[in-house]
Amino acid sequence: MEIAIPNLRHLRVFLAVAELKSITRASETIFLSQPAITQAIAKLEGLLGAALFERHSDGMHPTPSGEVWQKRVSRAINHIQNATLDIVKDNTPKERVQKNLVALISTTQLRVLIAVCEAQNFSIASRNLAVSQSSIHRAARDLERLLGVVLFEKNSLGTNATKAAQTLAKATKLAFSELRQGIYEINALQFKDVSTITIGSMPLARMTILPKSILQFNERHPDVNINVTEGPYADLLHHLRQGDIDIILGALRYPSPADDVVQEELWAPPLSVVARTDHPLMSKHPVSAKELAQFAWVVPAKGTPTRQAFEDIFHDAGIPLPTRLVESSSQILIRELLIESDRLTLISAHQVEREINIELLNVIDFPLDHTRRPIGLCVRKSWLPTVTQSHFLSLLREISEHFR
């Protein structure tokens, strides 16, 4: 279910009341009438389904839900604030940005910004948001006017998002992710945890710790949704850094792929040369690199750790690379090609454990213990997981111990 993102102005009202512990003082600070502040708080509480404040003799204090919301809203506003400072620092006095600019930006404008950046087209963004194209154009132009910078430029393929647009869109997606996590945490406080954990998964993790972790996790958290996204590592990393994905699970990259992410190794399995059980090389012990070079292979794309390990086998032996290659990362296609031919592949035995157990595939006797690849987690450096997400991370670590 789509989580409704609250009005940005209402969030600023909430923060003012939480920090000043008074609607009256908040009214004087943000220049909004007391009835308008009261109404904004009521709308937020209605949206969240929880009381955010308790009245005491010394003022208004956040409830437990209010404390959770204050933490998440502060982090969300900071994402947007820092991005606007970065965008207009050369065009606008810093004081104006800090005090007034963020207060003038609406959630609708930010949603339009994201939609146009992702679609690279105003009409597609219009359809995706189910609003008129004129409304999309108006929101985008209003936002450009507020920031004093160009956000979108037309080109032969459609609409190009400028660097400023990309910067603010990324910050906005991270801010919206914080707000969604805040909503999840408030729901959990009321014993109705129906949150979602989004995982970007690479092939080895999909066949090993991930299914076991999901099954055990859902026994303890039956109402929590798990979304698993597959794709090339570069795409998963992009979505992680944008806040679309919470965790990437798979082969780690060294050096770290970006300054704003952190990696954690869970275990490091070796690679194996795998073929069908009655492959001609199964009877040879051990097999040489020269013998491996005589057969066709199924390999992953260039630039991946496994492809590098494949090439190193033959470079280290001083012989040419095999030439009859099929490039694919599809586990199903790889399995079928191996079963129906004499092709070989380089893969972790854990990934084809089921096929080995039912004697469809087997490991060829070629030593590759030196190819151990670190498998683990990659998350945003600034990510603050919810309690539920932390439980899932703990379960991943616990289950990975069995593979060490």
Q: What digits encode the pLDDT tens for the residues 239-272?
A: 999 999 999 998 899 899 999 999 999 999 899 9
| pLDDT of the residue at 10 | 93
Selected residue with higher pLDDT from 90 and 61: 61
Cα–Cα nearest to 246, from 352, 386, 146: 386
| pLDDT of the residue at 2 | 66
- pLDDT of 402 > 90? The answer is no
- The secondary structure of residue 98, as a DSSP letter, is I
| pLDDT of the residue at 371 | 87
> Can you tell me whether residue 124 is helix, strand or coil?
helix
Give pLDDT tens digits for 9-65. 999 999 999 999 999 999 998 888 999 999 999 999 999 999 999 988 888 999 999
Average pLDDT over residues 142-155: 92
User: How many residues are given for the chain?
Assistant: 404
Quick one: three-class SS letters along 154-170? Answer: EECCEEEECHHHHHHHH
- pLDDT of 99 > 60? The answer is no
Average pLDDT over residues 307-324: 94
Give pLDDT tens digits for 149-183. 999 998 877 789 999 999 999 999 999 999 999 99
CA atoms within 13 A on the CB side of 52: 29
Residue with tokens 């699970």: 249
Alpha helix stretches (DSSP H) within 190-304: 203-206, 209-220, 233-242, 289-292
| pLDDT of the residue at 93 | 55
| pLDDT of the residue at 95 | 52
| pLDDT of the residue at 205 | 82
Structure tokens at 206: 């999909």
Contact assessment for residue 364 and residue 281, using Cβ atoms and an 8 Å cutoff: yes
CA atoms within 13 A on the CB side of 190: 17
Task: Identify the band that residue 107 occupies on the pLDDT scale cut at 50, 70 and 90.
Answer: very high
Average pLDDT over the chain, rounded to whole? 92
Average pLDDT over residues 307-323: 95
Give pLDDT tens digits for 177-229. 999 999 999 999 988 888 999 999 987 788 788 999 999 999 999 999 999 99
Alpha helix stretches (DSSP H) within 49-201: 64-88, 94-96, 102-104, 107-119, 122-129, 133-147, 163-189
Selected residue with higher pLDDT from 74 and 202: 74
Cα–Cα nearest to 144, from 124, 170, 164: 164
Average pLDDT over residues 283-298: 96
Phi/psi at 202 (5° precision): -90, 165
| pLDDT of the residue at 92 | 58
Contact assessment for residue 110 and residue 8, using Cβ atoms and an 8 Å cutoff: yes
Average pLDDT over residues 290-302: 95
Q: Rounded to a whole number, what is the largest CA-CA distance in the chain?
A: 85
- pLDDT of 377 > 90? The answer is yes
